[in-house]
Chain A
Amino acid sequence: MVPVPHRAQLAALVPAARRVLEGLVTAWAAITLTFLALRLSAGDPVASLLAQGATTPARAEALRHELGLDRPLVEQYTGYLAGLARGKLGNSLYTGQPVERVIASQFPATLQLGLASLTIAVLLGLLLGTVGAWSGNTLPGRVAPALSGLATSLPVATTGVLALLLFGLAVRSAPRGDPLVTFGRTALPAVVLGYAASGPFARAIQSGLEGSLRAPFVLAARARGVRRSLRLLWHALRPSLPPAVSLIALEAAFLFSGTVVTETVFSRPGLGRLLIRAILQGDFPIAQGIVGLAALFYVGSQVLADLMALGLDPRIRRAS
């Protein structure tokens, strides 16, 4: 007989493994979808290159062969997957550069923006949710939930342009090269995107906190005369943190598409600008690479969120 603890641990791994497997299948399907969507809706890239003067009729056949366009769709697909496994995503139609190199060069900027926005989203969500629940009927207590509600509904494009406008007007009279202004200008996109992403956090924190503030132990403490201090807040906040933490993983998708708009509004380099330029120029390998990467990222973060929920919730662990 296998001892119980060992068996429980093993059994706990099964749903996790299943989830990962599901994630892999979904990721594969998403990549396939990306591949098909482009191949089927787009025209002939070699004809496009010919028309652009980027190749000669003599070389066109050779180019077609290089790009694998003379093979049946299924072969092209398997070739694409094989390349993907090796980390090769094809070459840009426009500059001939390997797509993975181009994406890698723009990735850090987007990653920076994404991480900073995520941090700000969490902190802002924490602030707004806490104020909303803690301060109840006072002015800040009503303003905070309204702000977090607006955060989700307002398009990033409009809040971004507004922020750019207000910031620009505010620093117009500042001396050139002032470090605080430069810092502010660099931080602004993350603040805008972070605000836009803070809605779900704020709501989760607020409802969780409201719930736990009515919990018996809190009421008992207050009946004993304990003031609504920071310590009480912390204890009331703790139970609502784990679900908010799993939200972080889910926010990843929003942030990825959010960076596209934010990079355009603030004219920052990054994958968003790269994607738009690729779409306008008809550079399919790059568009495909970026959207595929985004899908992988999104699926990965969903799997991570589910795994964390599995890991954090003792009930699920015990039940397995």
Chain B
Amino acid sequence: MRRVAVPRLALAWLALVLIGALLAPSLAPQGPFQSAGSPLSPPGGSHLLGTDHLGRDLLARLLFGGRFSLGASAAASLLTVLVGGSLGMAAALLGGAFDAGFRWLASVLLAIPGLLLAMLLVAGLGPGLPAVVLAVGIGGVPGYARLTRSYALQLMQDGYVAAASSLGAGSGWIALRHLLPNSLPQLIPLATTHFAWALLGITTLTFVGLAGDPSIPEWGVLLNASRANLLDAPWGALWPGLAISLTVLSVHAWGRRLADLQGS
């Protein structure tokens, strides 16, 4: 019973967050950039979640923030999945020198902790949300590529791949027609878990101040901004903290459930 309850709650939360982000302009009482009330007012009344230190409505900031955080994480994950997935699959298919080179390069890249690699990229590109998205996207490539490669290798041991290649099918054809569709069951949970990692990475980098523009309502930025008045207005930290934590946990829970559903 508990086994099914957690993923159901997770799904409900994710649906809530997604709807909130998509319908933000209609759901939010005010815009997220306008000062709409007295600063640091507690939740209640016309400001359901309270206001921040500049008087902006926190519900609005949270809803629009969902757009920024989820959108950025999706973009970064897409980058990782496309680039990492292609590289991993290519390494499995082409084998030989390419595969050896890929394995070596991946182990070198993984020698630098992912967060620091991303920070290094932001150091070169300059602070800003696009740079953070790019950095987290690229930072996830080595790990994701390696996983894709091992899945692809497993699949290639199946008979039908050998059969296809003996019939003269080229590597690209094998990849598109056989490997990709058959690896999707494993790759989807992987991508889901990776989305959680990307969300974590993006909110962490924006939390430490690398987002450039402090007015964007991204959840990590909100969490950081709440520190200045933490004891006087704890709700400023509570909402983004809960949003980030619950979303990450929910995505993890769903990643696990999807993996379970595929069977081992």
Contacts and interface: CB of A to CB of B under 8 A. Distances in A.
B111 A256 contact: no
A276 B112 CA distance: 17
A41 B220 CA distance: 25
A154 B199 CA distance: 11
A287 B123 contact: yes
Given A158-B245, A295-B112, A38 B223 contact: no
Interface in B221-264: 223-224, 226-227, 230-231, 234, 237, 241, 244-245, 248-249, 252
B113 A155 contact: no
Interface in A5-32: 26-27, 29-30
B115 interface: yes
A85 interface: no
Contacts of B241: 158, 161-162
- Majority SS of interface residues in chain B? helix
Interface in B75-122: 107-109, 111-117, 119-122
A299 B125 contact: no
Contact of A298 (B113, B121, B231, B249): B113
Interface stretch (A174-182, A205-213, A277-285): A277-285
A265 B120 contact: no
Given A155-B245, A265-B227, A38 B114 contact: no
A260 B237 CA distance: 19
Contact of B115 (A26, A34, A260, A278): A260
Contacts of B115: 257, 260
Given A264-B208, A294-B116, 10 more contacts: A33-B108, A38-B120, A153-B248, A161-B241, A165-B231, A254-B113, A291-B112, A291-B117, A295-B112, A295-B116
12 contacts: A29-B111, A30-B112, A33-B108, A37-B124, A38-B124, A41-B124, A41-B125, A157-B203, A158-B244, A161-B226, A165-B230, A169-B234
Interface of A: 26-27, 29-30, 33-34, 37-38, 40-42, 150, 153-158, 161-162, 164-165, 168-169, 172, 253-254, 256-257, 260-261, 264-265, 272, 275-276, 278-280, 282, 284, 287-288, 291, 294-295, 298-299, 302
